[in-house]
Amino acid sequence: MNCVIFANGEYEKIEDYYDIVQKADVIICADGGANYARQMGINPDYIIGDLDSILPEVKEYYAGKQVKYQKYPRRKDFTDLHLAMSLADKLGANEIILIGSLGKRLDHTLANIYCGIEMLKRGKRIMHYSPSCTVYLIADSLLFRGKAGDLISVLTLSEKAVGVYERGFEYPLEDVEMEYGIPYGISNVLCKDSGEIGLQAGILAVFHYRIQDNN
């Protein structure tokens, strides 16, 4: 099951998210993420969080649409996005796509990426999507499509990532070990329209920056 989560972060052109959202089996808004769902004319299945960021008129609108709310106190141990991901897990999602989870505040961006680590260990596929950059969390292999010239950066989120390989890139890697805190996997270049990245053990964050068309 595919679940899309609207976070209350930074969005690019709102219309560029429609294809991702329309393929979702379940849509969850993490608090103020509902404001962006409303802009898109999307009725989510759930809105979750302490509800301090959702606009009053948006909250009233979705209440009228019988959208399910799960309200938590403001003083809580987990972020609204973490709560949304936990709900996606409980609903049986095996793929979680987060939008609006990158940008705005660096601490929130990092927290949003870290939130996916436990879900990845539970066998979920985790992707943070934006039109210009997508971040994948992987513990095995990833075959993805893009364009020649796209930039790809890889960082380990575990202490070590073992047996890392990158194929189809200007700077190919094969069976290398990456250590946490030594970021030498930055700014590789995709040589064709697809590439593959994988590892034997550990967790990687793969950042895919798309080249922009000038037309």
Same domain membership, residue 193 and residue 154: yes
Same domain membership, residue 158 and residue 118: no
Same domain membership, residue 164 and residue 99: no
List the pLDDT tens digit at each of the 215 positions of the chain.
999 999 999 999 999 999 999 999 999 999 999 999 999 999 999 999 999 999 999 999 999 999 999 998 877 768 899 999 999 999 999 999 999 999 878 998 999 999 999 999 999 999 999 999 999 999 999 998 899 999 999 999 999 999 999 999 999 999 999 998 888 899 999 999 999 999 999 999 999 999 875 44
DSSP structure string for 104-139: S-HHHHHHHHHHHHHHHHTT-EEEEE-SSEEEEEES
**Domain CATH for 47:** 3.40.50.10240
Range of the domain at 195: 141-209
Domain boundary among 131, 162, 181: 131
Same domain membership, residue 125 and residue 184: no
| Count of CB atoms situated within 10 Å of the CB of 131 | 15
Domain boundary among 109, 131, 153: 131
Residue 67 CA to residue 211 CA, distance in Å, equals 38
Same domain membership, residue 153 and residue 124: no
Measured between alpha carbons, how far apart are the two ends of the chain, in Å? Answer: 36
What is the reported pTM? Answer: 0.92
